[in-house]
Amino acid sequence: MHDQIPHSAAIADSDYVIFGGTGDLALRKIFPALFWRYIDGQIGDNFRLIATSRKPVDLAEFSEKLRPFCADALASAPEAEAVWEKFIQLVSIQIVDIASGDGAEEMARFLLREASERRPLIYYLAVAPALFGPSCQLLQKVGLAVSQSRVVVEKPLGHDYLSAEKISQEIRSVFSEDQIYRIDHYLGKETVQNLMALRFANVIFESQWNNNAIDHVQITVAETVGVGQRASYYDESGALRDMVQNHILQLVCLVAMEPPSHFDANQVRDEKLRVLKALRPLKAEDIIRGQYQEYEGELGKRSDTETYVGLRLGIENWRWAGVPFYVRTGKKLAMRASEIVITFKRKPHDIFADQKSGTARTDRDDLPNRLVIRLQPQEGLRLQLISKEPGPGGMRLFPSELNLSFDNTFGARLPDAYERLLMDTARGNQTLFMRHDEVLAAWAFIDPVIEMAKKTPPSLYRTGTFGPADSFFADKDDSWIDPKEDSGR
Ligand code: BG6
């Protein structure tokens, strides 16, 4: 067992400007991730972290507000107080009003003081998408759109193809594609990256990774939380836009893509794009939408928005023809767990079928091999095999597992997705970020799905279940495989 994940290399000194720097995303995700990276030594004392705010905010008050969001990191840091104080010294607050432009010149003077050094200048737009375009234009106007600058945005990148294209154009009219970092935080998850290692750093899986050996693929992203405070955003979005257009399709791409020649940003994204373009247009029977029973009560009005969606996808190419990809995601489900399950084909012939051992045979000994990739929590991989029960008395077969638990193997905390992604923006590595054409291809696939899905109201489901029933597996000797509470640690 490794005592610790090796420390990551320090990042070149950079200026990290967070628009909306005192808002929810900044407090919950961005600053805690930066703090972890500071504790780990990846961010040095010459970094500058600039939080923009429309209203004056006192740094001491900001520090107190931020502190609870960094509680885990603080608990792990030796000499926590001293480290916190040093970290807060990297932070400054600039008053900037994106709409009127007030304060932008002052910020430019502050930032450009050290521009001769050509430090990376990163702008994280943690603001509403309607402000992405105006923010970029403002940066240009005050001379902050320079060659070393990068811009980071996050979903919702539009609510359909046309609006996504518009947002993209607004950003691209100021920054070039290699300066734009579109976050899908699922790509920063350790296990999601491990999917690429599993496939492309090993021989045994890749040679089986096709329609000769694989029967079907399932992807479950289950959450126990409801929509809570986000009800008004969510009701306009629904699971198809909120989770499928981005996170789930990205997972499908990583499972299905061809091996790129190099682990290079554009090559990886070229291959993912090919998967998106090969998705078979769906029919009504490939879609099931659900809504948890309390949803309308929480929202305070009637709604046909789905809080659950299940899809039967197909990929039209030689590798995947005939292999269904079943994907589902929902709120208020039985447990919080995300898994990808690769089910291999059943054995072509059973040489043990006529064994009359002492123990009655069960259908459990005829289960197919499955590779279960647990994305969260309890990250790891399990390979389900059929083995012989030890001892004399004939061939008694039973399902067993090879189990690689990341926790047991690495024994260290897995960094949050944002930590990896924020460091990649500073390093200038776009591999784990979505390219303009990928985002649009995902919308081009999802738009008609949303249109078709709207024709049937969502089925209600009870909280704590795995969503409404569907008939996806009616013609198959299989069913949804629900994640296990204890994934076999
Ligand atoms: C976000 C969605 O992108 O992902 C949320 O907007 C969802 O609705 C969240 O809860 C899930 O992320 P994670 O990392 O908790 O699986």
Residue labelled with tokens 């039209």: 316
Q: Probe ligand 1: pick from 243, 248, 332, max atoms within 8 Å of CB?
A: 243
Q: 104 with 138: CB under 8 angstroms?
A: yes
366: tokens are: 């005829």
Q: What is the pLDDT of residue 116?
A: 58
The Cα 464–Cα 462 span in angstroms is 6
Q: Probe ligand 1: pick from 227, 230, 242, max atoms within 8 Å of CB?
A: 242
Predicted model pTM: 0.94
Q: What is the pLDDT of residue 358?
A: 47
pLDDT by 10s per residue, the chain, length 489 = 333 445 568 899 999 999 999 999 999 999 999 999 999 999 999 999 999 999 999 999 999 999 999 999 999 878 889 999 999 999 999 999 999 999 999 999 999 876 556 789 999 999 999 999 999 999 999 999 999 999 999 999 999 999 999 999 999 999 999 999 999 999 999 999 999 999 999 999 999 999 999 999 999 999 999 998 889 999 999 999 999 999 999 999 999 999 999 999 999 999 999 999 999 999 999 999 999 999 999 999 999 999 999 999 999 999 999 999 999 999 999 999 999 999 999 998 888 877 755 455 556 667 899 999 999 998 999 999 999 888 887 788 888 999 988 878 877 788 999 999 999 999 999 999 999 999 999 999 999 999 999 999 999 999 999 999 999 999 888 899 999 877 644
339 lines ligand 1 (CB under 6 A): no
- How far does residue 466's CA lie from ligand 1's centre (Å)? 17
Q: What is the pLDDT of residue 334?
A: 97
Q: What is the pLDDT of residue 481?
A: 95
Q: Looking at the chain, which residues constitute the CATH 3.40.50.720 domain(s)?
A: 15-154
- How far does residue 38's CA lie from ligand 1's centre (Å)? 25
- How far does residue 484's CA lie from ligand 1's centre (Å)? 20
- How far does residue 249's CA lie from ligand 1's centre (Å)? 14
The amino acid that residue 144 corresponds to is L
416 lines ligand 1 (CB under 6 A): no
- How far does residue 186's CA lie from ligand 1's centre (Å)? 9
Q: What is the pLDDT of residue 409?
A: 81
**How buried is 147 (Cβ within 10 angstroms: 0-12 exposed, 13-18 middle, 19+ buried)?**
exposed
* CATH of the domain spanning 15-154: 3.40.50.720
242 lines ligand 1 (CB under 6 A): yes
Atom of ligand 1 nearest to the CA of 242: 6
Q: Which CATH superfamily is domain 187-414+435-461 in?
A: Dihydrodipicolinate Reductase; domain 2 (3.30.360.10)
Atom of ligand 1 nearest to the CA of 227: 8
Atom of ligand 1 nearest to the CA of 246: 3
Q: What is the pLDDT of residue 337?
A: 96
Q: Looking at the chain, which residues constitute the CATH 3.30.360.10 domain(s)?
A: 187-414+435-461
306 lines ligand 1 (CB under 6 A): no
For the annotated catalytic residues, the residue numbers are: 247
Atom of ligand 1 nearest to the CA of 237: 6
The Cα 246–Cα 252 span in angstroms is 10
